[in-house]
Chain A
Amino acid sequence: MPSKDLREQLDLIRSIQPAIHVPQNWNYENPGPMYKAYMHPPHDVGGQFDVPVYYEEKEEEDWELNTYVTCEVLGWRGAWTAEERRRRADNDLGYTLYLGMPYYARWIWAAAKMLVDKKHISLAELQEKIAEVRSRYEKK
């Protein structure tokens, strides 16, 4: 029987999936606009409706500066270009992560994905490293 935390986590995952699911099965009706909508790169938001909000400043976290520098230095030393970073961090990750995750979280996610995609590291190696870093901070 799953624990309470696990059930809450499952509910949370389900809740961030898009509210409108319109599975397209044959016979397609007027598929053109829907096809274009699916193909639309998520980062192209100019002209979409949104509401007035308070425009805030944010103090930069230490890890955010490190993320920025890591991503730029990966570019400097030839692992990727900024253009590839934008493609990955602003489009490939999909709408849920794009609209949900913090700004610099997308940057570091994209860097990790790039390293795995380009076989600089294996995903297993990344998982083990994450577990090891976590364990450093669990020691009391």
Chain B
Amino acid sequence: MRRLGPGMKKSKTGHSPEKAAATGALFKVGDQVRVRDMPYMFYTRSQMYTRGVAGTIAALTYKDLIPEEEAFNFDGRIEQYYIVRFRQKDLWPGYPFDNDTLQTECPHRWLEPAKN
């Protein structure tokens, strides 16, 4: 659930059906997803160390503006955010501990279904 915080404007565009169609249906907890290797410049909150790596949806959190637009006060796209869980072995070459994991938060645009 998105709460309108200070300094935040209510989006004119919001989460419309057309936009939902463009982004595809929401992911569910347990879905296998991959972080897309999208072009980036100036600003993103999608970390380089996750690009191209597959993980599992651990939680759906809230719908909000995407960082690339909110950071420039662009009253634009609102997307579902997810907590994605990765195996550390998949993130780092030679990571020695099998059980360790890492979680981080991604907006929908940075994720695609992962084919196992």
Contacts and interface: CB of A to CB of B under 8 A. Distances in A.
Chain B associates with chain A? yes
Interface of A: 39-41, 44, 46-47, 74-84, 86-87, 91-92
A114 to B, nearest CB: 10
Contacts, number: 54
Interface of B: 5-8, 40-44, 47-49, 65, 67, 70-73, 91-92
Contacts of B92: 47
Given A46-B49, A81-B73, A87 B7 contact: no
A75 B71 contact: no
B7 A46 contact: no
Q: Which of B43, B44, B49 has the most CB of A within 10 A?
A: B43
B43 to A, nearest CB: 5
Nearest to A78: B7
20 contacts: A39-B41, A41-B40, A41-B43, A41-B44, A46-B48, A46-B49, A47-B48, A47-B49, A47-B92, A75-B7, A76-B7, A80-B7, A80-B73, A81-B5, A81-B70, A81-B71, A84-B71, A84-B72, A87-B43, A87-B72
Contacts of A84: 70-73
